[in-house]
Structure 1
Amino acid sequence: MQNRPTYGIQSVDHALRLAAMLQQEGPLRVSDAAERLGVARSTAHRLLAMLVYRDFAEQDEDRRYVAGPVLRRPSAPEPAVELRRVALPHLQDLTARTDETTNLVVVVGDQARFVASVECDRVLRVGDRGGRVLPAHLASGGRAVLATRDEDDLRALYGGAGSPVADLDGLVRELRRIRRQGFAVNDQRTETGVTAVGAAVPADGLAGGISISMPTARYRRDRLTEWAGLLATTARGIAHDLGAG
Structure 2
Amino acid sequence: MAKAMKNPPAYGVTSVDHALQLAVILQVEGPITVSEAARRLGVARSSAHRLLSTLVYRDFAVQNDDRSYRAGPVLEIAAKAQSNVGALRTAALGPLRTLVDTLDETANLTIRTGRTARFIASVECTRALRVGNREGMVFPAHQVSGGLVMLAALADDELTALYAHAPTDGSAEHPDLAELRGELRAVRSSGVAVNLERSERGLVAIGRGVTDPSGATIAAVSVSMPSVRYSPDRVKEIVSALTVAADRISAEMHEGVR
Q: How does 1:149-164 map to 2 (within 5 A)?
A: 149-162=154-167, 164=173
What is the aligned-residue RMSD (CA, Å)? 2.8
Deviations 1:11-37 (A, max 9, x none): 73697489879xxxxxxxxxxxxxxxx
> Quick one: distance in 1 between partners of 2:98 and 2:203?
21
Question: Does residue 229 of structure 2 align to residue 225 of structure 1?
Answer: no
2:102 is paired with a residue of what secondary structure?
helix
CA distance in 1, matches of 2:182, 2:57: 42
From 184, 194, 202, give the equivalent of 1:193. 202
Write the distance in 2 (CA, Å) between the matches of 1:17 and 1:162: 39
Aligned match of 2:189 = 180
| Structure 1: stretches of 5+ with no match in the other structure | 22-70
Dislocated runs of 4+, deviation >4 Å:
5-11, 13-21, 73-76
Specify the SS of the correspondent of 2:249.
helix
Cross-structure match for 1:107 = 112
Q: Deviation of residue 224 (structure 1)?
A: 1.1
Q: Secondary structure at the match of 1:137?
A: helix
Does 2:254 match 1:243?
yes
State yes or no: 1:126 paired with 2:131.
yes
Q: Is the 8 A contact 2:209 2:217 kept in 1?
A: no
Q: Distance in 1 between matches of 2:241 and 2:250?
A: 14
The TM-score, its normalising length taken from structure 2, stands at 0.66
Shift of the 89–11 alpha-carbon distance from structure 1 to 2, 3 Å rule, reads: same
Match in the other structure for 1:145: 150
Q: Equivalent residue for 1:64?
A: none
1:12 aligns with 2:82: no
- 1:206 to 1:179, Cα distance in 2 relative to 1, 3 A: closer
Name structure 2 gaps, 5 residues minimum.
1-33, 35-44, 61-74
Any idea what the Cα deviations from partners look like across 1:190-226, whole Å, max 9, x if unmatched? Answer: 1111110001102245521010000010011121122
Partners in 2 of 1:83 and 1:238 — Cα distance? 8
| Alpha-carbon contact 1:108-1:207 (below 8 Å) kept | no
Q: Which residue of 2 aligns with 1:136?
A: 141
Deviation sequence 1:160-192 (CA, Å, 0-9, x none): 134733410110111011011010011111111
Count of residues paired in the alignment: 191
Aligned to 1:123, the other structure's residue is in SS state coil
Provide closer, same or farther for how the CA distance between residues 8 and 197 of structure 1 changes in structure 2, counting only shifts above 3 A.
closer
| Partner in structure 2 of residue 28 of structure 1 | none
> SS at 2:207's partner residue?
strand
Amino acid at match of 2:51: V
Bigger mean CA offset, 191-200 vs 75-84: 75-84
Identical columns (%) = 39
**Cα distance in 2 for residues equivalent to 1:172 and 1:235:** 24
